[in-house]
Amino acid sequence: MRNATLWRALLGVEQTVIEDIDLDEDSAGRPGGEGSVVVACVRPLRSSRGRCGRCGRRSPWFDRGEGRRRWRTLDLGVLEVYLEADSPRVDCAVHGPTVRQVPWARHGAGHTRAFDDQVAWLATQCSKRAITELMRIAWRTVGSIITRVWADIDSAHDRFAGLRRIGIDEISYKRGFKYLTVVVDHDTGRLVWAAPGRDQATLHRFFDALDDSTPPEDPTPRSAAITHLSADGADWISVVTAQRCPRAVRCADAFHVVRWATEALDAVRREAWNTARRAAGGTRRDGHAHGQPRLIATGHARVLKRARWALWKNPENLTTRQRAKLDWIAKHDRRLHRAYLLKEGLRLIFQLDPAEAPHALNRWLAWAARSQLPPFITLARRIRRHRASILAAIDHNLSNGRIESVNTKIRLITRIAFGFRSPDALIALAMLNLGGHRPSLPGRT
C-alpha cells in the first residue's frame, strides 16, 4: 500500500495496517444513504491483536465471529468513509468469547473513536439538527455515542476526588413524574453525579458509588470526608444523609425555605379571595360560557385575584402599580398583609449576620405561631424541625444556588436531548457539558 503513512494520518488511526483503499460505488449493502463511499481495508498491528474487546487482556483465538465488518469514520470531503476489517472472537478468561479489541474503535461501537469524539464535542456545542445533518446520523445514534464517550472520560478521571461540600436536589426531565437526582460540588460547581429517581434508594446509590471510589490505601470511606451538605427539606434526603454522612453539616437551602413561606402566603391569599368573592357584591354575571352563566370577580375579589405577583416579588423589584396594590392590601385586608410581612420577615433572616440570626428566627417563630394564620402556624412547626440546618446555612453562607444554576442548564440540555431513548444518554450529555471534562475534537490537544 503506497502512502500508508499519509492514509493513517487522514483516517486518524494508530497501530493499524492499511491494506487497501477502495471507492465503493455500490451502496446497496451500506445502511442509510446513497452514493459512493471510501472503504479502507485495515487490520491491527500484530502487537495489538488477540486482546479482549472489553478488558484488553491477551486471549486465545476462539472463532472468526461474523466475518468482516465496517466502522464509520470521519468523512473525507463530501464522501463518507468506512474502515473494514475482520472481527474474530477471542476466548477471554473473564468475559468468555468476545469480539477482539481494535485500536480504532470502542467495543461494541459501529463508529471509530475519532467519529465518536467529534459527535460528542458537537453535542456540547451545537443544536440537534446541526449534528444530525453534519454527521449524517440519527439523533438516537448521538445518544449512544455520547454514552460511550462519557464512559471513557469517566474511567480516566476520578470525579469524586476531593469532594467535601456537596448539594443535592432533584429535577424533572420528562412528563409523568420522571425525575433525576443530581449532586453538585459546591467548591467547583461541577455536576458530580446524576441518576433517575428521587428516593432513598437512588441517593444510597450515590453514596455507594462515592465509597466504592475510595482509594485502596485510604481506610476511611469518602462519604466520611463530606463536611457540608445543602439540600431542601425533603425527608428522603435527610434520612439518607443522616445515615451515610452523619458528621456533615446539613444546610437548608434558603430559596426552598422562603418558597415554603411563599406557598403559605398564597394559601392565605386564595382564602382571602374566596371570602371576598362569596361576599355580597363580590361577583357579577357577564353573559354565558358553554351554556353556563359566567361570573366575573368585582370589588375586593377582583383586586385580590390580581395581587399574586405583588405579594410574591421582593420589595425592591416592585413596580409602582404593585406598590399601590400592596398599600391597598395593608388598608383593607390585615390578615393577608400580615402573611406578606411574615414571608418578608423570613426572607430577611437569611441576610442577617450569623450572630443575630438565631434570635431573629426565634422571634419570627413566635410571631408565626400567634399569627392566627393556619398556613403559617403549620410552617412554623416545619421550620422548627429544620431550625438547625437553617442556621447552619446562614452561618456557612451555603445554599443551593449553584445547584439551581446547574438545574437550569440541565433543563436546556433536556430540551436539546428530546428523543433520547433512555435517561442514560441525557445524563451522559449533562455530564459531558457540566462534569468538568468536556470532550475535545480529534487531532486537538
Q: What is the pLDDT of residues 183-211, one digit of tens each?
A: 999 999 999 999 999 999 999 999 999 99
Examine the pLDDT at 289 and tell me if it is beyond 70.
Answer: no
How far apart, in whole angstroms, are the C-alpha atoms of residue 431 and residue 128?
A: 17
> What does each C-alpha distance from 98 to 87, 123, 141, 222, 395 come to in angstroms?
10, 30, 23, 35, 56
Examine the pLDDT at 27 and tell me if it is beyond 60.
Answer: no
pLDDT confidence of 276, banded at 50, 70, 90? confident
Percent of all residues in the chain with a pLDDT value above 90, rounded to a whole number: 59
Examine the pLDDT at 4 and tell me if it is beyond 50.
Answer: yes
Mean pLDDT of 301-325: 82
Number of other residues whose CB lies within 10 A of the CB of residue 394: 24
pLDDT confidence of 74, banded at 50, 70, 90? very high
In the block, residue with C-alpha cell 467529534: 118
Tell me the three cell numbers of residue 340: 406578606
Examine the pLDDT at 260 and tell me if it is beyond 50.
Answer: yes
In the block, residue with C-alpha cell 466504592: 212
How far apart, in whole angstroms, are the C-alpha atoms of residue 77 and residue 180?
A: 41
Examine the pLDDT at 285 and tell me if it is beyond 60.
Answer: no
**Tens digit of each residue's pLDDT (9 = 90 or more) over 361-379:** 999 999 999 999 999 999 9
pLDDT at 28: 45
Distance of CA 368 to the CA centre of its chain: 36
Examine the pLDDT at 277 and tell me if it is beyond 90.
Answer: no
Contacts of 43 (CB under 8 A, 6+ apart): 16, 17, 19, 49, 85, 86
Contacts of 158 (CB under 8 A, 6+ apart): 213
Please give the order of strands across the beta sheet that includes 16-24.
16-24, 37-44, 79-86, 68-76
Number of other residues whose CB lies within 10 A of the CB of residue 353: 9
Q: Phi/psi at 196 (nearest 5 deg)?
A: -65, 140
For residues 243 and 31, the model is more confident at: 243
Number of other residues whose CB lies within 10 A of the CB of residue 142: 23
Mean of pLDDT over the chain:
88
Examine the pLDDT at 286 and tell me if it is beyond 90.
Answer: no
Examine the pLDDT at 29 and tell me if it is beyond 50.
Answer: no
pLDDT confidence of 402, banded at 50, 70, 90? confident
Examine the pLDDT at 294 and tell me if it is beyond 60.
Answer: no
Examine the pLDDT at 219 and tell me if it is beyond 50.
Answer: yes
Mean pLDDT of 204-231: 92
Q: Per residue, what are the HEC states of 158-186?
A: CCCCCCCEEEEEEEEEECCCEEEEEEEEC
DSSP letter, residue 100: B
pLDDT at 281: 53
For residues 182 and 322, the model is more confident at: 182
pLDDT confidence of 283, banded at 50, 70, 90? low
Examine the pLDDT at 282 and tell me if it is beyond 60.
Answer: no
